[in-house]
Amino acid sequence: MKKILALVLALLMVVSLFAACGGKTTEDNSLQAVLDKGELVIGTSPDFPPFENLNDDGSITGIEIDILTKICEKLGVTLKIEQMDFDSVLPGVQAGKFDLAVSGITATEERKQNALFTDPYCLANIAIVVKEGSEIKGKADLQDKTVSLQTGTTAELYCNANGFANNAFQANADAQIALTTGKVDAWIIDDLTAKDMVAAYNEENADKLVILDEAMTTEPYGFATKLGNDALITEINTILADLLADGTIKGLFEQYGADFVDPATAA
Ligand code: ARG
């Protein structure tokens, strides 16, 4: 009798362990779940000023953080930020590890196969950054050169597709250092971030960096959730449309000294 009781108890423990650990493979990221738990969890790589930047005091600020704060106010939930490398942001949201991917993410057709994107809220260019005096004046001059870029970005996709030799770095800052230390000939990075990071570098260094006039591509930025999470995206799209229509988003770009390009101007 005692043996049977022990066996039953052991079985019960195994069952409850399973329930605790393996109950769900992914989180419930639905609009209802967000409202129920009272928070929206975003995944971001905060090395991308002026959109999201990790400050010395450990806080994360930027245009996208402000947009998300406004979205959360409208939803009546608090914003929770999870920090990671850029190449973990989209895989993370696809696996349902957090509710929304927020990282200056370009909504490409390929990415839309694996994640559900909001409508774009701005347009940005991929820029070429070189050292002052460089012989590189545009895309055409990159043929036999090596460039640096961030792993998992559209800059990487573009350079690989066009046969530009490249060194990929997990952290954006390291891609910049590769250029300033002469390990590569150019650094490929989204234009508004380039503007911020180049200005910060030029302020402190005698040798200067220059952003070339010719951009590589123009791309729309949006936020993403996992496939099938339509109600959350529909709700965020409604809020984004209001924030675009009433000039809030344009105002935020101005506040950060960034040029705003309305996605409605896309061809
Ligand atoms: N817009 C580019 C892309 O989607 C770069 C984004 C990099 N974002 C970041 N937070 N480091 O691939």
**Whether 130 and 59 share a structural domain:** no
Report how far ligand 1's centroid is from the alpha carbon of 169 (Å). Answer: 12
Q: Does residue 203 form part of some domain?
A: yes
Per the domain annotation, does 13 fall within a domain? no
Instruction: Answer whether residue 132 is part of any domain.
Output: yes
Mutate which of 83, 89, 106, 191 for ligand 1? The one with the most ligand atoms within 8 Å of its CB, which is: 106
Q: Are residues 193 and 214 in the same domain?
A: yes
* DSSP for residue 62: S
Identify the band that residue 265 occupies on the pLDDT scale cut at 50, 70 and 90.
confident
> What is the pLDDT averaged over residues 174-181?
98
148 and 202 inside one domain: yes
Which residues are CB-contacts of 219 (< 8 A; sequence separation ≥ 6)? 106, 107, 108, 123, 124, 125, 126, 154, 190
pLDDT at position 12 is 59
Q: Report the pLDDT averaged over residues 178-185.
A: 98
Pocket of ligand 1 (CB under 6 A): 45, 47-48, 52, 86, 103-106, 150, 153-154, 172, 190
* Whether residues 62 and 174 fall in one domain: no
Structural domain that includes position 166 = 124-218
* pLDDT over 60 at 22, yes or no: no
State the greatest distance between any 2 C-alpha atoms of the chain, in Å, as a whole number. 88
The domain total for the chain is: 2
The mean predicted confidence, pLDDT, of the chain is 93
Contact 102, 79 (CB under 8 A): no
Q: What is the pLDDT of residues 186-244, one digit of tens each?
A: 999 999 999 999 999 999 999 999 999 998 999 999 999 999 999 999 999 999 999 99
Kindly report the CATH number assigned to the domain that includes residue 199. Answer: 3.40.190.10
Confidence of residue 19 (pLDDT cuts 50, 70, 90): very low
Per-residue pLDDT at 186: 98
Tens-digit pLDDT profile for residues 56-93: 999 999 999 999 999 999 999 999 999 999 999 999 99
Res 47 pLDDT > 90: yes
